[in-house]
Amino acid sequence: MKSLLKFITCGSVDDGKSTLIGHMLYEAKLLFADQERALELDSRLGSRGGKIDYSLLLDGLLAEREQGITIDVAYRYFTTDHRSFIVADTPGHEEYTRNMAVGASFADLAVILVDATKGIITQTKRHTRICALMGIKHLVLAVNKMDLVGFDPEKFDEIKEEFSRITTEFRFESIQVIPVSATEGDNITKKSPNTPWYKGLALLPYLESVDVHTSDEAKPFMMPIQRVCRPDHTFRGFQGQIEAGSIAVGDELITLPSHEKAKVKRILVTDQDRNSAHAGQPVTIQLDREVDVSRGCVFTKDNKLQEADSFSATILWMDDSVLTPGRNYLVKVGTKVLPCTVTAINYKIDINTGNTVSADHVVKNELAKCEFSLSDGIVFDSFEKNKSIGGFILIDRVTNMTSACGVIDEALQTSDTAVRIDTEITRDVRAQQKGQQPLTIWLTGSVLDNSALAKEIEKRLVARGYHTMLIDNGSGESVQQIAAYAALLNDAGLVALVPFSSKNDNDQAIAQDIIGQALLPIEVAAHSSIEEAASDIVKRVVKALIQV
């Protein structure tokens, strides 16, 4: 079976990314006859005076052809005698950096193009840094348009040396620099006579031979749970893709975060029983006993993965809105999705120098180091070991759009041991920013479903313009932990809702001691419906918010 290489092309606008891949497919005879004919016909109306415009193979949108730029990510699948490929041609314009990051997230290797007449520019540095952030370990720097500088080896060496300097801070495993001409075909599929001073391989032969695969099977077993499958009362299976290691019938697994142990009773790949399975395979695993597992949990053989309810991370901000501390999002790590709050922006990273810059906000296409507090704990690993649970995305809770992508740097202290740090950004500053006073609504009693009631209350408060976060005690945290979560959210200027069924006076005393004057305990009285109860409680909450 041929190996598969997933790679992207990136670089600045008009550096020739689409032309490069189009010319490669054309010269390697990887097009169907009708595609080749259509390309020749379309090129008659192109910008090359009737010569073949290879970029038209990938720039399929009308707006792309009109402007001569790539806007969306274009994926192409092709196979040579030596290897199979998936290539993502990504946009070069800064406005579409988000699209470039999406393409980079799937790739094993990046081909970064630079214009030989311009050399290394800001967008080259930005794309290199994003490739490193997204875990790409192998780079090809294609120095394009060498024909416009007379195939000057000194110009090539100058660009090569500068690129070597800017990549020293990253841990790339391989970097190959190749002089090419995307329009004329030099060093695309075979060595060019115009560059006798270049001793390396042409681009396609290099891509066919470069080794980018580290064995995921050699790593410890790890599988995030995508779905619990229960077609009837006789079968309960856990479905997901094995991200690392291998598994066999009879192996003992640990379920995280519950830390229960069970043995593998059965493994199914599609609908076929297997004695074992390995990394990359989607499977259904049946255990020999019942365990507390749901979507977002993780199976492993050892207990070396980390767990935390707060972490620091490096992110690429991709939203048009401005990121500021105190804002709420959904965070997706592996298959787990949780509400989270941005508790701090440590600094931004200068795209040119890599230096850190102090900041209190982040705008589109900027890199930053931030801290996040989650409504519950997550299971994660270092990005180096496991991309699937070492990286994450932030999702806007209103639009459901992806606002940022990032990698987890380290766990912060969990809520029961965390120490608050005094900063110039105080609770009052955060509250003033949101136009409200912090409050914790502590629902007690069990007349109604308090979780459902809290959700209805939150929906009504958000409709009135309040900034909220709901903390559900679904994982059995102690009253101290729940109160610490709420206090942290109050420090972020938020209204926290806690559905806590216990009416124990001692529990409320503990919560009062941790949360302080922001605590508003409400014992849920008898109502005919959740809607009626929510309406009554929201009136009390709004009155309390006005009086605080």
Which DSSP state fits 94?
G
pLDDT in tens, 5-59: 889 888 877 777 778 887 787 777 655 455 555 555 555 545 445 465 555 555 4
Enter the CATH code of domain 4-209. Answer: 3.40.50.300
Q: How confident is the model at residue 212 (pLDDT cuts 50, 70, 90)?
A: confident
The end-to-end CA distance of the chain, in Å, is 68
Helix axes 450-463, 530-547, angle to 10 degrees: 50
For residue 159, the model assigns a pLDDT of 95
pLDDT in tens, 350-386: 876 778 888 889 998 888 999 998 888 889 888 877 8
pLDDT in tens, 239-298: 999 998 899 999 999 998 888 899 999 999 988 999 999 988 999 999 998 888 889 999
The sign of the CA dihedral 235, 238, 240, 246 is negative
Residues in the chain: 548
pLDDT in tens, 448-488: 677 888 888 999 998 888 889 888 765 556 777 788 888 88
CA dihedral 427, 430, 432, 435 (to 10 degrees): -120
Which DSSP state fits 412?
P
Has 502 been annotated as catalytic? yes
Q: Which of 164, 502, 528, 535 is catalytic?
A: 502
The CATH 2.40.30.10 portion of the chain extends over: 216-300, 306-411
Query: In whole numbers, what is the pLDDT of the chain averaged over residues?
Result: 82
Structural domain 434-547, CATH architecture: 3-Layer(aba) Sandwich (3.40)
Q: What is the pTM of this model?
A: 0.64
Q: Does domain 306-411 have CATH number 2.40.30.10?
A: yes
pLDDT in tens, 307-327: 888 899 999 898 889 999 888
Q: How confident is the model at residue 161 (pLDDT cuts 50, 70, 90)?
A: very high
Whether residue 257 has a cis bond before it, omega within 30° of 0: yes
The CATH 3.40.50.300 portion of the chain extends over: 4-209, 434-547
Structural domain 216-300, CATH architecture: Beta Barrel (2.40)
